[in-house]
Every structure is written in structure tokens, then in C-alpha cells.
Structure 1
Amino acid sequence: MPYKVINNFIDKETNSFYEVGEEYPKDNEEPTEKRIDELSKKHPKYRKIFIEEIESDLKDDGSDESFSESELKNMTKSEQEKIIIDLNGDPKSAKNEGERIKLILQLQTPVKQGE
């Protein structure tokens, strides 16, 4: 199962550098389940999640950029506000991080006609 990198890191087992948005693992690498588990949970020292499972179903709206809750939690306030603006939302309507994340998730969910 492929994963998407949500925070830059150097894989200590392979010495490979991974950037946000890249797929994990690289073609020639076969990480253990333990390593995948370590990278997909909040790291105790760095307090970040480094990878998340890529969902197989495609978005109905054809958008190529969609953020998960864990990705949004690792972003700064200004990064979250920029995403809200990019999604045609009002960042001032969200009073705190939880509301910003909720707003982003709502804004990137397509509304189907007839609803």
C-alpha cells in the first residue's frame, strides 16, 4: 500500500530523503510494517506524523489537492488561513485551529447537486 509524505524526513533505515507530497516508499524500498507504523503515528521526539495512507478513491470534483486532518494539524495558522482563502472561504470566520481545520475539510468536500 502506498503512502503520501506529509512532513519532510530522512528515512533512517535507507538514508533516503522524502519531501511533502512524495509517495512512500520509493520504488526500490520495502519498509517493514514496524517502520510504516512509526512514520504514520505522531513521533514522540519530533511531534509530527510523516506519512499517511493514500486513499484509493478519487475525488468527485477532480481536485488535485486535498488535505487530511492530520496534515492540517501540522500546519501553521497562516498556512491554514491561506488554504481557506484558496478554497474561497473566510479565514476570519474560524476562531481557532479546530474551527479552521473543520472549515477546510468542509470547503474541500464537494456539494452534490440536489442536496
Structure 2
Amino acid sequence: MNEKIERAERLSWARINFAWENYKEAKDLLDEFLKTIEDDSPAANELAKGLEEINKWWEERRKEITKSSDGWFEKLENPEEQILLTQIDIEALHKFLVLCEHVARKHDLV
């Protein structure tokens, strides 16, 4: 049974690593895009509002997993918790990329 759990954990980490590699590639493009947005522009304001919503979602999801008031562990109890937290981080990054794409198209920035 332990072997099955270990294989499942390795598969989860493989999926996370694959997603993370894709985000590292996207990060450069995202950084370039963010530099093109002027402060206090409608696009910047929309991004700020959307990012605030994503942060709230992220914090709530972390609190659900960690069962703590601030969403952070004193110490990780098991690898499953770390996998779940990493998945939440990746989901939040994905939400931000989708938001940036939406704002870019809406405000004719691409």
C-alpha cells in the first residue's frame, strides 16, 4: 500500500513540475506585458482588482488545507499537504495569466 501512495505522490509532483515549467516560460512574457501597462490606467485598475480577488481565493484555499487562521503551516504534516498547497499556487498563477490575457484583449494591449 505504501508503494502505491509513493507512486501517486510522484505522479502528483510530476504534474506539478510540468505545470511549473510552463509557468516559468510564461513568466518572461508576463513580465514584459506588465511593463507595458501604465499606472492608474483602466487596465492597471482592472488588474489590481482582479489580483485582489485571486489573492482572497488563494488565502481561503490555503486556510482550508492548513486549517490555520493565516493559511500557513508551522510544520508540514505530510507530503499530500505540500502537493495540495503547490497545486493551489499553480491555480492562482493560472488565474492571474487568464486575467492578464482578458485585460490585454479588453484594453487592446496585444
TM-score interval, normalised by the smaller of the two chains: under 0.3
Question: Structure 1 length normalisation: TM-score?
Answer: 0.27
Decide which structure has the larger Cα Rg and report it.
2
**Structure number with higher helix proportion:** 2
Greater fraction of residues in strand:
1
Q: Report the TM-score when normalising by structure 2.
A: 0.28
